[in-house]
Structures are given as structure tokens and as C-alpha cells.
Amino acid sequence: MHRHLDKTIKEHFDRYKQILILLGSRQTGKTTLVKKVFSDFDYLLVDNEPIRKILETYDIESYKTLFDLKNKKIIIDEIHLLSDPGRCAKIIFDQLEGVKLVITGSSSFHIKNKTGESLAGRKIDYYLFPLTLSEYLQQTNIEKFLNFKIFENILKEKNVQDRMHKFDMDTILNNILVYGQYPYIINSPRDKKYLENFVDSLIFKDIIELNLIEDKRLAKDLLRLLSLQIGNLISYSELANSLKADQRTIKRYIEIFEQSFVLFRLYPYSKNKRDEISKSAKIYFYDTGVRNALINNFSDLDLRNDKGALFENFIICELIKQNNYLNKDFKFYYWRTKQGSEIDLVLENKDILLGLEVKYKQKSINKAFKSRYTNAQVKIITSSNFY
């Protein structure tokens, strides 16, 4: 079971002495990855109560009873469950000379909140997302090797051409857009019950139990409402009115969902032109299966009226994952004028400005973005040409 991060993680201690922090949602495969790559490390699971009690002492002498002092190679899994994860990691790193320390955590909000200052200069973060399409194809034995075709296609070609495949891409795309890309689906495809239970654990175990959210019902109602608005501009005031909550709470909960790898916001690309939208965010989910579980809709694509929104969500997520794994420096935006001209996704770095129209089926390209930003490339991505 290969992942794009395998090589990068494996080479970490050849390049750095800093702590390796692997972040990501529950069930993305963090434990599997670090135990595979660092098989000779002492493995400590914080969810094990005796281990947690010792780690909560924040005392190096107590810590030394947990691992091989000659080996000095340690994995601490689910460190976010500690009351002060940063303090624990700092004690080990500072007081155990030559240690190689790997830590994993599900809630980046909690870890970053507690480790921001104490681990400054002592850590390097990596992110593990749900499977990319390439990882899915490799793990289901459809493709032999991992690739970054989706990213490479949009960067290398003037026009992205329709492609033929030796496998049934339509069926694969249907399964992924409906059931998502968490590793569990490899061995248990089309498992509605798993996704429904997973959403509950994702929200309640990782977020509620960390005391980040006070109102469970509001949290779930907000997520359901947001899941119906993927790809749309969100209005905090409208969300607050619909849920009878104040805007500050709505904004804070969305930020927590974002930092916990449930969803993300896309902000507008604007160079302060008067008619360009410059503030409103769009909402997307890191996994379409999680989104569909929230609204309890696992219908096939042909029966859905949100097929285009799901495909747009999928493509943007794929590009975010690949941008991260390739260590590219693209920033992600959307573009829209007050008159309604729109580009679904804008990628920008110091060399390239790229506008992407993401449509399930072929449509004509909006020329407004190109005419306004003459240095931009504009391409259309469809279900027939994306891979």
C-alpha cells in the first residue's frame, strides 16, 4: 500500500534533526504509514491509558521507562490526546540528545494551538490526506505506479485533451465521488454504514472531546448546511440566521472544522478591480464521501443533481493534495465578478497564473478572466480529460 508521502517521510531524518509531525484527519492512514516507514522505532500510542498517564507526567525520567535509550527512535501516535502535546514533545526533543522523534495527530487545530511556541524551530509538519486518485488506482491494482498526472496535465499542456483508459474511469469516478477516498474504501467499497459512523467519530471524538465545540447539535447542523453548499459562496449571516446562532460562533466552528481537516474555504482572486468579489469564501469538503454521509445521499451520479459540484470538489481536492505532496507553492483561489462571470479555480505562483473551469461535461471557456488577466492561461477540466 504505497502513499505519495512514503519517500518524503522516509528521508526526513537524513535531512533534518527536527521532530517529524504527521497531521491529518482520522483514518487517513497516519499510523500505518509511520509504522511501515519507521519499523525499528519504539511505538507509543497515547490512546493506551498507561502510556498516556506516564506521558502526562511531563517528566523525562518517567518517559525513559517507555522506550529504548540506546535506540532513541520514538513514535508517539495520537499525541493530540495529551493535555499539552507540545510540552511532551519538547521535553523529549530537548532532553534526549540525538533522539529521532515522530509524532502524529488528528486535529491540527489542537496541536498547533498547543505547540505553536514551544516547538518553534523544533518541528517540521507533513500532512496526510485521504487517498489521491493515483493512490486509489495503485492500491486497487489498476495502476502499477503512483503518479501526479492530474497536476502535470494542467501544467504541461496548452489544452487538456480527452483521454481513453484501459479501465472503466466512469465507474471509478462514480464510486469515488459518492463514497470518497478514505483508505477504508479499498477493502470495503460502497460502505454507507462506515461513512455514517465515521462522520460521527470525526465530529464527536476528534472535535467535541477536545473541548473545541460546546454545542454538538449546532456543530452537526452547521456541517449539514455547509455540505449542501459545496462550491457556493457562503454567507455567515445567512448561516447564523438559519441556525439561530451568532456569527462569531459560526465562524469559529467553521475554522475548527477547517483546522480538523473536515472542510476548507476557497477565497476570491482579486486585484482590487471594482466589480470583482473580494471577500466571500466558498466551501468544500476534504472528502466527498464524508460530505455525502452528512446529507445521507449515496445515490449514483446519474441520479444526482449535484454531480457537477461533487466533481468540482474532487478536482480541487486532488490538486490541493498533489500541490502539497509535490511541495509546490501554488495558492488556490476562485474568481468571480459581481456580474456573474466566474472561474472555478485559480492557481497562482510567482511564475504562473492559471484559471481552471471544472465541469463534469465539456462547456465553452469563460473568456472574461483571460481578457482581464492577459498573462493567465485558462483551461477546462472535465470528467473526460482530467486523468
Locate 200 and state its grid cell: 460521527
Whether 260 and 207 have beta carbons less than 8 Å apart is answered as: yes
C-alpha cell at 37: 516507514
Count the Cβ atoms, other than its own, within 10 Å of residue 344.
22
SS3 string, 303-345, reads: HCCCHHHHHHHHHHHHHHHHHHHCCCCCEEEEEEECCCCEEEE
**Domain ranges for the chain:** 6-127, 133-381
Q: Which residue has the cell 496535465?
A: 153
Q: Exposed/middle/buried for 230, CB within 10 Å: 0-12, 13-18, 19+?
A: buried
- Which of the pair, 118 or 286, is modelled with greater confidence? 286
End-to-end CA distance of the chain: 21
pLDDT at res. 210: 67
Q: Is the pLDDT of residue 117 over 80?
A: no
- For residue 265, the SS3 value is strand
Residue 325 scores a pLDDT above 90 = yes
Residue 87 has pLDDT above 80, yes or no: yes
Residue 181 pLDDT > 80: yes
Residues ≥6 apart with Cβ < 8 Å to 340:
none
- Which residue stretches of the chain are H helix? 6-10, 12-15, 30-37, 49-55, 60-63, 85-95, 108-115, 133-139, 149-156, 169-179, 184-187, 192-200, 216-227, 236-243, 247-259, 288-294, 307-325, 368-372
Query: pLDDT by residue (tens digit) across 38-75?
Result: 999 999 999 999 999 999 999 999 999 999 999 999 99
Count of CA atoms in the C-beta half-sphere (13 A) of 212: 29
76: helix, strand or coil: strand
pLDDT above 80: residue 208: no
Does residue 160 contact residue 153 with C-beta atoms inside 8 Å? yes
CA distance 76 to 262: 23
Taking residues 272-294, report their average pLDDT: 93
pLDDT tens digits for 152-161?
999 986 778 8
| Per-residue pLDDT, 109 | 65
Place of cell 447564523: 240
Residue bearing the bigger pLDDT, 203 or 106? 106
Indicate the pLDDT class of residue 271, thresholds 50, 70 and 90: confident
Task: Give percent above pLDDT 70 in the chain.
Answer: 96
Give the burial class of 367: count Cβ atoms within 10 A of its Cβ; 0-12 exposed, 13-18 middle, 19 or more buried: exposed
pLDDT for residue 9 is more than 90: yes
Q: What is the model's pLDDT at position 260?
A: 87
Q: Is the predicted pLDDT of residue 168 greater than 80, yes or no?
A: yes
Q: Cα–Cα distance between 347 and 342 in angstroms, integer?
A: 14
Q: How many CA atoms lie within 13 A of 209 on its CB side?
A: 13
CATH, domain 6-127, list 3.40.640.10, 3.40.50.1000, 3.20.20.70, 3.40.50.300 = 3.40.50.300
What does the pLDDT look like over 213-267, one tens digit per residue? 888 889 989 999 999 999 999 999 999 999 999 999 999 999 999 988 999 999 9
* CB atoms near residue 15 (< 10 Å): 9
pLDDT value at residue 335: 97
Characterise 316 by phi-psi region: left (phi > 0), alpha (psi -120 to 50), beta (else).
alpha
User: Taking 90 as the threshold, does the pLDDT of residue 194 lie above it?
Assistant: yes
Which band of pLDDT confidence, cut at 50, 70 and 90, is reported for residue 24?
very high
